[in-house]
Amino acid sequence: MNALRSIRAAVLAFAPLCAGQSLQMVRDISVTEAEYRDALDAWMHNDPGLAGDLLKRPPEEMRGRIRKAAALRDTAMVKKEAYLDLITGRLRETRGRLEEADTGAIPAEALKKDLAAQQSRFLGEEENIEASLREVPEGDQYLLVRRALEDERATLVKLQNTIALRLRSLETIDQAQQGIRNGPKPDVLARKLDEILKVWDRERESVTRQRARWAELYATMERLVMQNDSVVKGAPLSTLPSVPPKSKADERAKPADASPRGGPAANSTGLAGTWIYRSQPGAWTGYGEPQAITLVLQEQGGALAGTYEARLPLRDGTAHVRLALTCVQRSADSARLHWKSETPAGEGDMEIKLASDGRLFVERGRADDSYFPRGTEVLQRQ
């Protein structure tokens, strides 16, 4: 009970000193970076087959997978923003301390002189104790005197060792201060820190832009799934937000033998023809939007064959792709094509599907070389 009363009294006694103070936990940069790396790893290993299954699996399943991937990616971007905020905050704190670095220094020389004087005094006292020990007669009656002198001598030796350590520390501090005085001035270091801070600030701004672009990409993938489902079910594409409305010029350019239901007459020609890529929302998925695509398909002896030329973005640049195509499997409105590339050598498969509105869906499947990236695009007849 007395112990509890003592604790309460101590808390009440120190309460006025704690008034107005708030406890703030400062997050560690390494912990925040680890959280960001874990979130990024969770997104990367979550659903690697998402792009390949985009137009193959049921729409409701794909919408769930897309939303899960979008949530994981957004979490990773939020973690990266927090990580970069800590880095820039730490740099700004260091930048502020540089302005105070040139206002004072430790008087190392004066302290070393004072310690040297103390060292000399302790050495003299040790010599006096040694002389006293030599004068103490032998015998048990002088044992207490001898022990007291020996204890005092041991204390003096410890003090001398402590002073020697302090002298070495001051010597190190003095050398460091001389290096600072002879090195770059604080304003030079401040300018370098400002340049580094600008780099990290630009990285932070780019993360904000990337976060919005990733959200737009997953929203586009979800719209593409909805479009494909509507095409399969025969729903009018005009109800979908990602399909731009046709202009009056397009209406006037329609052929006279267009189908009565409003679909383009190009459907009657099947898969053969020249197909090109035109940039529009929801027209692609993959690492980046294709710069140009031309797909030429011809009937050769009853079999479908042709070429595929494209400029596709990669992580380290742009791939200029030229492929020779041969048909592996075919139906009335779809086909599986096998492609080969001479330079660089490679081969793989792609699938095409003709929609009821006359557009051609192309899925670039996995290849035996990273030269040909995976993805999908929507082509229009030239």
**Pair of tokens at residue 59:** 């729409």
What pTM does this model have?
A: 0.40
As a whole number, mean pLDDT of residues 67-72 equals 92
Residue 111 amino acid letter:
L
Using alpha carbons, select from 232, 230, 247, 339 the residue that is nearest to residue 295. Answer: 339
Euclidean distance between CA atoms 221 and 31, whole angstroms: 33
As a whole number, mean pLDDT of residues 241-249 equals 45
- Secondary structure class of 340 (helix, strand, coil): strand
pLDDT digits (tens, 9 = 90+) for 75-117: 999 999 999 999 998 888 887 776 655 555 677 888 888 888 8
Q: What is the pLDDT of residue 332?
A: 83
**Pair of tokens at residue 166:** 């302090």
Task: State yes or no: pLDDT of 367 exceeds 90.
Answer: no
DSSP classification of residue 239: G
Q: What is the pLDDT of residue 241?
A: 43
As a whole number, mean pLDDT of residues 133-147 equals 84
Residue 70 amino acid letter:
A
- Least trusted range by pLDDT, from 96-100, 136-140, 207-211, 272-276: 96-100
Helix then strand then coil, in percent of the chain rounded to 5, is 55, 20, 25
Task: State yes or no: pLDDT of 326 exceeds 60.
Answer: yes
Task: State yes or no: pLDDT of 235 exceeds 50.
Answer: no
Q: What is the pLDDT of residue 23?
A: 47
Predicted confidence band of residue 184 (pLDDT cuts 50, 70, 90): low
Euclidean distance between CA atoms 49 and 51, whole angstroms: 6
pLDDT digits (tens, 9 = 90+) for 7-62: 455 545 544 444 444 545 556 888 888 999 999 999 999 998 888 888 888 888 98
Euclidean distance between CA atoms 311 and 323, whole angstroms: 12
